[in-house]
Structure 1
Amino acid sequence: MATLSYFVLLYIYDALEFKWVVFKGLITLLCLMAGGYFLNDYIDLEVDKKVHPNRALPKGYISLNLVFILSSIFFTTSLILGITTSYKMALLVIVSAFLLLIYNVALRRYHIIGNIVVSFLSASVFIFASIISSKWDKSFFIILIAFLFSLSREMMKDIEDIRGDRKSGYRTLPIVKGVKFTFLLSRFVFIAGIFVIIASFFTREFSYRYILSSIFLVIIPSTIFLIFKWKPQSVSVISKYIKAEMIAFILVLFIEGLK
């Protein structure tokens, strides 16, 4: 979904061209993500032995040293590409890599801080695209909406993973504040995302295509879902629905880019 989001925002800004800088930005993003995935596997080895024993690393199919080397290679490649693109890209790569490191080492274990970091990193895909296109007029609302939807889903995922997280000694939001509190906060954040979409209608940055597609693809379905389906016993369904609406919002952005 990150690759799709990257290309769609470039498409909106009329910057989706077969130029090296466009693919360079994508490779920078993908290398950063790959470095984060391998770093996560490296740090979580002992936890995965208990919770996910069938994964490649706990099974011994690949060595811990190889995972560390691959993570280092991907992070270094991302940084080099970022530096050779622009100082803004280099700064974004450095900040993102630092957040990935402290998230995996410490922040993921504590309350909502880890959720905020992950949500920012998810929304940063649009920052990558904005830097490449050198256009920011629509980006604020898009980044904020992506952040809020992602944050809502991350909290729902924490509720889903509460048993494994408790065994691993994590102090996630549902463990510390309770499932009910986390559930209500996730709902509030999701609704906030809907209101940000509505607020974006009153700017001059978006066309009628964006407004109409947002209403029919996101706002109306989400309102119905919030009323009839957003129930405490349906956490897994809610998590999947939020992801579906994130994809729907990307479709809205694609429609906005149509000429």
Structure 2
Amino acid sequence: MNKLTRFQLMKRLTAFFLLTRPLNVLIAMVSIFIGAFITGTISPLINVLLASLSGGFIAAGANAINDYFDVETDRINKPYRPIAARIITMREGGLFSMVLFSIGVILGLLVNWLAFVVAVFSSMLLYWYSARLKRTVLWGNLSVSLITSLAFIYGGIAVNRLGLALIPAVFSFFYHLGREIIKDAEDIAGDIADRIVTLPIEFGKRKALLLATGIYIFLIGLTIVPYALNIFGIYYLIIVVAIVNAVVVFALFSMWRDMTPNNLSRLSVILKLNMFAGLAAIYCGKF
């Protein structure tokens, strides 16, 4: 294999890796593990690891199929994405996503029957989201938020303690709902070009961002409840107030000062990274 061929191979392998959006995959896997941990056990550990891997593969498949259906929009909004940049063909991207979904579902079956059901449901909903739901007003946002919250529930299922995973699942639902609306406000130009009817397009950017603001204000109040009820300890409260909620407040102020796509894109990334602080808060809340 000559140097040029090796370079081309590495470029394509890197493109397939980036197609999965590895940061999103990592967040999904960590969320599932945390979902198990906060129930008070990670036993049987093999089930937790299998569930985390299953969720990671499903998330990777979802990200790949999303790029498949969003290729025309991405050529306007995100021309560097692997399929939009024509490094990977649409056919390759579609087949790759099906392989990833299949591995995720099979791994779910190895956990238990309920995990298998959730894995199948999640895979089907994520495909439907990319193919249809994301082009509808609010339903796409609700679908993504539901799927992300299911990551915590998936962790609870892995250790047969579903009920105790509901708190982070609820937080995750509202956090992602607000962020998804902000992302839609960022992508207005490309969505119009692709004939996608999102909340900001249907009702205007300001009204959409007002809804996102209301969701986040409600969530900030909601995050105090587990500490007030002695479910989580002082370390949870410190991280939530000093980092998680502080970052959300900063993002809201910045969003209203500057509603340009560049700033909304920056804030979307900041909010994504802030999820790790939220996971750390929940993890530390048990101590």
Fold match by TM threshold 0.5: yes
User: Displacement of 1:22 after TM fit?
Assistant: 2.2
Letter in 2 for 1:195: G
- Matched with 1:28 is 54
- Matched with 2:282 is 253
Q: 2:122 pairs with 80, 89, 96, which one?
A: 96
Change (3 A) 1:7 1:227: closer
Deviations 1:133-189 (A, max 9, x none): 222454222111111111111111111111111111110110001011001000000
User: Displacement of 1:92 after TM fit?
Assistant: 0.8
Deviations 1:198-250 (A, max 9, x none): 2223334223332343333334x258537854525155254344334422211
| SS of residue matched to 2:231 | coil
| SS of residue matched to 1:134 | coil
> Contact 1:141–1:197 (CA<8 Å) still a contact in 2?
no
- Matched with 1:184 is 210
> Contact 2:39–2:161 (CA<8 Å) still a contact in 1?
yes
Partners of 1:170 and 1:51 in 2: CA distance? 13
Deviations 1:52-110 (A, max 9, x none): 44443344433333323222222222222222321211111121112112111111111
User: Displacement of 1:51 after TM fit?
Assistant: 4.8
Partners of 1:48 and 1:238 in 2: CA distance? 19
**Matched ranges for 1:1-259 at <5 A:** 1-16=27-42, 19-49=45-75, 51-219=77-245, 221=246, 225=250, 228-234=253-259, 236=264, 238-258=267-287
User: Displacement of 1:46 after TM fit?
Assistant: 4.1
Gaps of 5+ in 2: 1-26
Bigger shift: residues 46-55 or 171-180:
46-55
Change (3 A) 1:170 1:215: same
User: Displacement of 1:20 after TM fit?
Assistant: 2.5
Give percent identity, aligned residues only: 25
Partners of 1:54 and 1:244 in 2: CA distance? 21
Change (3 A) 1:210 1:30: same
| SS of residue matched to 2:228 | coil
Letter in 2 for 1:215: V
Count of residues in Structure 1 that have an aligned counterpart in Structure 2: 257
User: Displacement of 1:44 after TM fit?
Assistant: 2.9
Partners of 2:183 and 2:51 in 1: CA distance? 29
> Contact 1:13–1:257 (CA<8 Å) still a contact in 2?
no
Letter in 1 for 2:268: S
Partners of 2:79 and 2:31 in 1: CA distance? 33
CA RMSD of aligned residues (A): 2.6
- Matched with 2:4 is none
Bigger shift: residues 150-159 or 80-89:
80-89
Partners of 1:154 and 1:71 in 2: CA distance? 22
> Contact 2:248–2:271 (CA<8 Å) still a contact in 1?
no
Partners of 1:14 and 1:21 in 2: CA distance? 15
Partners of 1:228 and 1:159 in 2: CA distance? 16
Letter in 2 for 1:66: E
Partners of 2:54 and 2:89 in 1: CA distance? 25
Gaps of 5+ in 1: none
> Contact 1:35–1:70 (CA<8 Å) still a contact in 2?
yes
Bigger shift: residues 105-114 or 50-59:
50-59
> Contact 2:35–2:153 (CA<8 Å) still a contact in 1?
no
> Contact 1:107–1:114 (CA<8 Å) still a contact in 2?
yes
Does 1 or 2 have the higher relative contact order (CA < 8 Å, sep 6+)? 1
| SS of residue matched to 2:41 | coil
| SS of residue matched to 1:171 | coil
Change (3 A) 1:67 1:225: closer
Q: TM-score, normalising length from structure 2?
A: 0.79
Change (3 A) 1:8 1:84: closer
